[in-house]
Structure 1
Amino acid sequence: MLIVEWAGVIVLVLLLAVGVLVLRRALFIRAGGTIRLSVRTSISVPERGWSNGLGRFVGDDLRWYRIFSFALRPKLTLTRTGLVIVSRRSPAGQEAYSLPADWVILGCARPGRETVEIAMAETTVTGFLSWLESAPPGEVSTRLAAM
């Protein structure tokens, strides 16, 4: 009888975990302002270390959440202020296997932090750059460095 109870508990925990993941994804999609986005925070090993996720625009922030995570907080937040695009390229080498062919990789410099690379669909880049270049009234935008 003890085995049956433990099996029931395990099944219940698995169902709750799947339910949380499905609910989390449904909330992101319904809220709008969400894009598919891969991030590589450590650029020490070329062409490796990409993580899939969802990016969500919230005011002056782009919040990135891992797809396979129970965390309710973003893993990475890119603030529009001070963010500069320093490079743009297509996936090459090993990246061609982990990223879709029509995606673009943008190198982003952040003040006081290590450079981060983000990858998104070519069609999404235009919207991202529009968000990045738009500035509050009275502020001059100089966000695109060497594209």
Structure 2
Amino acid sequence: MRELLLSLEVAGACALVALVCLVLVVVRRRRLTGRLGTFDCSVRQPGTRRWALGVARYETDRLDWYRTFSLSPRPSRSFARGALDVTRRRDAEGHERLAVQPDALVVECRHGGEQLELAMSTDAYTGFASWLESAPPGQNVNVA
């Protein structure tokens, strides 16, 4: 009987920890998306099949990207506006349509020497392209 109670206590504690983590993730996402200049954005390195879901936020000179399922208050990735070039944009195709938000636009970019892909809504892409094009003079910005 004592072993059963101990097992139930451990299971209850694990369930409580999981619930607290889930609540913290939801609260963090609400705080991120409640700010001005944020949009849903998935990121993928070319050559991989895995998309990472997240939220992007515009800063003055960079785009900060926060992973959805994380508790960290810091961005998972930051992309400097001056080093970010859009090489191509296309509709999500094949298995991508299941991994990103509905009707997402896949934006192929180069950040420094690194290739990456961003998936966002058409409206978010309009804002993204405007943000890139509004870079201060002297920054070479390429928007496809």
Deviating more after overlay: 122-131 vs 85-94: 85-94
Q: Tell me which residue corresponds to 1:28.
A: 32
Do the aligned partners of residues 109 and 12 (structure 1) sit closer, same or farther apart at CA in structure 2, a change above 3 Å counting? same
Alignment of 1:41-80 (within 5 A): 41=45, 43-45=46-48, 48-80=49-81
Q: Tell me which residue corresponds to 2:138.
A: 140
In 2, Cα distance between equivalents of 1:15 and 1:97: 27
5+ unaligned residues in a row in structure 1: which ranges?
A: none
Q: Tell me which residue corresponds to 1:129.
A: 129
Do the aligned partners of residues 22 and 93 (structure 1) sit closer, same or farther apart at CA in structure 2, a change above 3 Å counting? closer
In 2, Cα distance between equivalents of 1:129 and 1:114: 19
TM value normalised by structure 1: 0.82
Contact 1:104 1:122 in 2 (8 A): yes
TM value normalised by structure 2: 0.84
Letter in 2 for 1:122: T
SS at 2:114 equivalent: coil
5+ unaligned residues in a row in structure 2: which ranges?
A: none
Deviating more after overlay: 119-128 vs 25-34: 25-34
Aligned identity (percent) is 36
More helix by share: 2
